[in-house]
Amino acid sequence: MFSGIIEHLGTVTQARRGDRALHVAIATGIGDLSMGESIAVNGVCLTVTAFDAAGNASFFISIETLERTSLGRLAEGGRVNLERAVTPATRLSGHIVQGHVDGTGRLLSVEMAGEARRVVFAIPMTLRRYLVEKGSITLDGISLTLNEIGATGTAGAGPDEFPVALMIIPHTWTHTSLGTLAPGDAVNVEVDVIAKYVETLCQYRS
């Protein structure tokens, strides 16, 4: 389990395609990794399969993950958001994040709003029912607050998408991969798991 608070901004040092899989090496900057531990890479829970004392780690990305996330676009030199799994003593500064991606969205626009940035993403319409204004959403592993549902003042969302707007503070912009995105780039989306549990409970109530 994760909290959506990015701890490190890693750099992809190798992205090698295998038989229906992707082998990725990342310079994580984490010096005390453990074999088999879970790391959220752009919001996707991955397993450390090899590492060294300098924090260089290897990950195996299966075809299932490649089909459901945006990790297939990883390339050498790319920057990725990293978070280690929480512990019982960890402050839950973000919200409950599983690292299980529900779909991919697209960056539509970025505009300055004072020192902050108003950023608009197109989200799959199938996820609309899980989102509420001022609720939580995870984009590329970052715990963010939804400021507008069905955001206005932007174009580009397709018929199976809807736009949402978020206000990004300078710290988040510079300490995550958000600042490296260009309009049209894909992001991993994970909705609040509590909303999904509530939906299921309501469906099967007597």
Tell me whether residue 179 is in a domain.
yes
- What distance in Å separates the CA atoms of residue 206 and residue 184, rounded to the nearest whole number? 44
Tell me whether residue 51 is in a domain.
yes
Tell me whether residue 97 is in a domain.
no
Tens digit of pLDDT per residue, the chain (206 long)? 999 999 999 999 999 998 889 999 999 999 999 999 999 999 999 999 999 999 999 999 999 999 999 999 999 999 999 999 998 888 888 899 999 999 999 999 999 999 999 999 999 999 999 999 999 999 999 999 999 998 665 668 888 999 999 999 999 999 999 999 999 999 999 999 999 999 998 987 75
* Judgement on whether residues 115 and 78 belong to the same structural domain of the protein: no
DSSP helix/strand/coil, 129: helix
Strand-pairing partners, residue 105, are: 187
Q: What is the pTM of this model?
A: 0.93
pLDDT at position 153 is 58
- What distance in Å separates the CA atoms of residue 113 and residue 168, rounded to the nearest whole number? 9
Half-sphere exposure of 123 (CA within 13 A, CB side): 27
pLDDT in tens, 90-138: 888 889 999 999 999 999 999 999 999 999 999 999 999 999 999 999 9
Domain final residue, candidates 51, 84, 117: 84
Which residues have CB under 8 Å from 91's CB, separation 6+?
Answer: 3
Domain final residue, candidates 53, 84, 115: 84
pLDDT at position 206 is 58
Instruction: Check which CATH number belongs to the domain holding 33 and give it.
Output: 2.40.30.20
Domain of residue 73 covers 8-84
- What distance in Å separates the CA atoms of residue 121 and residue 164, rounded to the nearest whole number? 5
CA dihedral 99→69→107→2, nearest 10 degrees, is 10
Strand ranges (DSSP E) for the chain? 8-18, 21-27, 38-41, 44-51, 56-62, 79-84, 103-113, 116-124, 136-139, 142-145, 148-149, 161-168, 186-191
Domain final residue, candidates 84, 113, 141: 84
Q: Is the dihedral of CA 63, 162, 3, 79 positive or negative?
A: positive
| 21: exposed, middle or buried (Cβ count in 10 Å: 0-12, 13-18, 19+) | middle
* Judgement on whether residues 64 and 129 belong to the same structural domain of the protein: no
Domain count, the chain: 2
* Judgement on whether residues 79 and 121 belong to the same structural domain of the protein: no
Tell me whether residue 98 is in a domain.
no
